Amino acid sequence: MSDIRPFCGYRPRADAASQIASPPYDVLNSDEARERVRGNPLSFLHVTKSEVDLDPSIDVHSDVVYQRGADNLKKMVADGLLIKDREPCMYVYAQRMGEHVQTGLLCGGSVAEYQNDLIKKHELTRKDKEDDRTHHVEMLGAHTGCVFLTYRARPEIDAIIGRICAQKPVYDFTADDGIGHTLWVVDAKADIAALQTEFKKVPALYVADGHHRSAAASRVGEILKKKNPKHTGEEMYNYFLTVIFPGNQLRIMDYNRVVKDLNGLSPEEFLKKISDKFGVSPTGDPRPAQKGDYGMLLGNKWYRLTAKPGSFPSDDPVQSLDVSILQNNLLDPVLGIKDPRTDVRIDFVGGIRGLKELERRCKLDSAVAFALFPTGVEELMAIADAGQIMPPKSTWFEPKLRDGLVVKMLNE
């Protein structure tokens, strides 16, 4: 079952929603965030990346930064920029990116189910990033960014959400990056009860994006539980802010690789070595058309690589991923990249930037680039179901959720 809850969200004043809503904290560095807020004092980045209001020399993990975020959040509420819904609600959140539309349910997800693996993970987290989000959530007393969950679609849930989407939304705007964002408030008790009933029939949810946010929510929940002698399990800190999308609506893009050098090999030696495990041929169409195919840019020339049958265990959900095949059969044995998490010779390029970015990088600072076929949602779910972990940088989800459309306080 999947336990989801309504809550009294804090939402932007309607005429300010497009100015307040901001990209998630982890897709911008501090300099990029400072540039984003220039001329926009309402941006929610003042809450989620509050170093933008402080001297650039400051340690972004210092208490001063978290406290500034808390102060900025309080001020937005005090100034009437964020207004609290009077009754517990759920929300339907739709995004448009070109022809692609995905529509999810924004609600409270269960910390207990996350801890008991009914909300399944597919990535490892880093302690420093967990610590950062934990301190942020604890200091602000709020969940300010959504965890992106998914599930195997159910027509009964689709029907309820479809009915809600036929009503007038509270926000409908296109952000400066061209992504459309639409939000409906679900305040009818019958609709909320129907959604809860149907989600109880969903055997598991899956973290698509937001492993550090969900881990931080779990840690903060435990901290507040220990501080509360009257803990019941019903408190809002037992539920984290999430948007839950059906898997058949999601768009996972390719997550590509560039490598700075050929590990001492000449281009000819390199091509000969990789031909042991891959078919190699020049191509004018470098974008992979199916699993097991790769585009490779070497010396201003594109090649098609095709993983040879028997070069990987096809029945292993992790080792048969395209990212694993490339790592195990080329990046490690040929280019000497043992750990892509830590090796400074490799970098990762989200597919949203296109193949032109790979060409730019090869002219700028890299010797070879690899374009991969996107990982599938079912592959992600199968790995999580098996209790296994995907290799780093396996999935790139687009479009990104906006922060600031709904805020969930921990003690209300």
pLDDT digits (tens, 9 = 90+) for 83-135: 999 999 999 999 999 999 999 999 999 999 999 999 999 988 989 999 999 99
Residue pLDDT, tens place only, 45-93: 999 999 999 999 999 999 999 999 999 999 999 999 999 999 999 999 9
Q: How confident is the model at residue 392 (pLDDT cuts 50, 70, 90)?
A: confident
Q: Residue range 17-42: average pLDDT?
A: 95
* 213 has pLDDT over 90: yes
Q: Give the H or E element holding residue 110.
A: strand 100-110
Q: How confident is the model at residue 191 (pLDDT cuts 50, 70, 90)?
A: very high
Residue pLDDT, tens place only, 228-248: 999 999 999 999 999 999 999
d(CA 220, CA 242): 16
The number of residues in the chain equals 412
* 371 has pLDDT over 90: yes
* 188 has pLDDT over 90: yes
List Cα–Cα distances, 157 to 105, 165, 241, 252, in angstroms. 10, 12, 19, 22
Q: How confident is the model at residue 159 (pLDDT cuts 50, 70, 90)?
A: very high
pLDDT of residue 126: 86
Contact between 337 and 321 (Cβ < 8 Å): no
**Residue with tokens 């009914």, as numbered in its chain:** 118
Whole-model pTM: value is 0.92
Residue pLDDT, tens place only, 279-314: 999 999 999 999 999 999 999 999 999 999 999 999
Assigned architecture for domain 255-373? 2-Layer Sandwich (3.30)
pLDDT of residue 81: 98
Q: Residue range 140-160: average pLDDT?
A: 98
Percent of the chain at pLDDT above 70?
A: 100
Give the max Cα distance, the chain. Answer: 70
pLDDT of residue 341: 86
- Helix ranges (DSSP H) in 122-188: 127-140, 155-165
Extents of the domains making up the chain? 4-251+398-409, 255-373
Helices then strands (H, E): number in the chain?
A: 13, 21
Q: What share of the chain is helix, strand, coil (3-state, %, to 5)?
A: 35, 25, 40
- Helix ranges (DSSP H) in 146-247: 155-165, 189-199, 211-227
d(CA 341, CA 115): 25
